Amino acid sequence: MIPVTPDAVDHRRSYVTVDLGAIANNVRAMRRRLPPDCAFGAVVKADGYGHGAIPVARAALAGGASWLLVATVPEGLQLRHAGMGETPILVLGPVAADEAADLVGAGLTPTIDAASPLAAIAAAAQQHNRAPYPVHVKVDTGLSRFGIAVPEAVPFIQSLYANPALAVVGIATHFATADVVADPFLYAQEARFAALLAALHQAGIRPPLAHAANSGAALQGISCREMVRVGIALYGIPPAPDFPMPPDIRPALAVRSSVARVLDLAPGDTVGYGRTFTAGVHTRAALVPIGYADGLPRAASNRGHLVIGGARCPLIGNISMDQCVVALPDGLDVAVDDPVVIVGRQGNTEQTIAVLAQAAGTIAYEVAVRFGARMRREYTPVG
């Protein structure tokens, strides 16, 4: 294992491991399902979905990714400063005018719509002698978030083609329900996007890169055009709990800890803040030094499980900022320092992020990005 911050001594027992070989494998596994000339955009925003943006980006490139995709200009600058100077980096989110100079100076590609600071980007491009500067246009086909409305898209893109400081090299949309297999709205959005591309073609316009498919759409083989944007599947996590995942895509993240104390609860004893759990019978329990400040969702209190000795041990009482308590099954011999799995496999028992997220009433994305905020991360190399 290679600590990402070897000088930082972590005296707590909880830590995150990331299998970079799994990241590279997942890129290769996804690419096998894509057209051979389809570019692969690896989404490493939000610190690589909590896995670590820089090591994940390197592993994704080693696996065959063509682009790195981030949400913000600072995320893109982080990758550039880490030595990824030649890799195309697309900023997926809106860009502010005061970020234009940094964006162009670092050679980051912005995603734009009609509200984007086009004048600032053009001025920065001319100042850095990089005009015409490449941009991707975002079209809103139904997510109702960021992007220009479909009826306004053709005249807007025509105006961009008339701007000598900008070059439209990509056009994109984003699906709202790609995590649902064969959802009708997914097909409706794809049809709107296809109709727009046809209208642009009729007007003599065709940006080189059209992209719409995220993980869910790419796994369904829907709208895999010149590029796909793979986020959650890059990390081996399903887009939704019931979404069928191919067997050659595997999780990269594991979260582990160890038992800090073994407790004996008498009938009537309560556990944690708010006393939300009361022992009805004599109960052996274990204290685990991981809490919601480390990413374990507080909403999983009295609902989720951790794995000790290959057994699923229910969380009892409210999860604290730094600690939690689980009940131990009868007959399970547990001692201080015994290993605990929060996410991952122990023996024949696996706890996935998706299962933990369901217990907390949220989605795997949210849980993934929270882990490791103060825990150390250890990385298994690509190979």
User: How many angstroms separate the CA atoms of 341 and 333, rounded?
Assistant: 16
User: How many angstroms separate the CA atoms of 210 and 232, rounded?
Assistant: 20
- E strand or H helix at 192, and its extent? helix 184-202
User: How many angstroms separate the CA atoms of 59 and 52, rounded?
Assistant: 11
CA 178 to chain centre: 15
Which has the closest alpha carbon to 240: 354, 329, 74? 354
Query: Residue holding tokens 């001692």?
Result: 335
pLDDT at 9: 47
Catalytic residue among 15, 235, 273, 379: 273
Alpha-carbon distances, residue 8 vs 11, 68, 292, 374 (angstroms): 10, 28, 21, 11
Domain with CATH 3.20.20.10 in the chain: 33-234
Q: Is 273 a catalytic residue?
A: yes
- Its pTM stands at 0.94
**Which class does domain 253-380 fall in?**
mainly beta
| CA angle in degrees (0–180, nearest 5) for 255-47-236 | 55
User: How many angstroms separate the CA atoms of 322 and 294, rounded?
Assistant: 7
Query: Residue holding tokens 């131990």?
Result: 328
- The matching CATH number, chosen from 3.90.170.10, 3.20.20.10, 1.10.357.10, 1.10.287.470, for 33-234 is 3.20.20.10
- All residue ranges of the chain with pLDDT < 70 are 1-12
Query: Residue holding tokens 């500067």?
Result: 133
User: How many angstroms separate the CA atoms of 210 and 38, rounded?
Assistant: 10
Helices (H), strands (E): how many in the chain? 11, 22
Alpha-carbon distances, residue 88 vs 68, 102, 153, 239, 258 (angstroms): 6, 15, 25, 25, 41
Are 65 and 44 in contact by the 8 Å Cβ rule? The answer is: no
Domain with CATH 2.40.37.10 in the chain: 253-380
Query: Residue holding tokens 């097909």?
Result: 187
Backbone angles phi, psi at 265, to 5 degrees: -100, 125
Q: What is the DSSP letter of 336?
A: T
Strand 311-314 vs strand 305-308: parallel, antiparallel, or unpaired? antiparallel
Catalytic residue among 15, 45, 133, 379: 45
Q: What is the DSSP letter of 315?
A: B
Q: What is the torsion angle, in degrees rounded to the nearest 10, for the CA atoms of residue 38, residue 40, residue 41 and residue 43?
A: 140
Are 307 and 224 in contact by the 8 Å Cβ rule? The answer is: no
Strand 148-149 vs strand 133-140: parallel, antiparallel, or unpaired? parallel
For residue 223, give both structure tokens.
Answer: 């709208």
pLDDT at 374: 83
Mean pLDDT score across all residues of the chain: 95
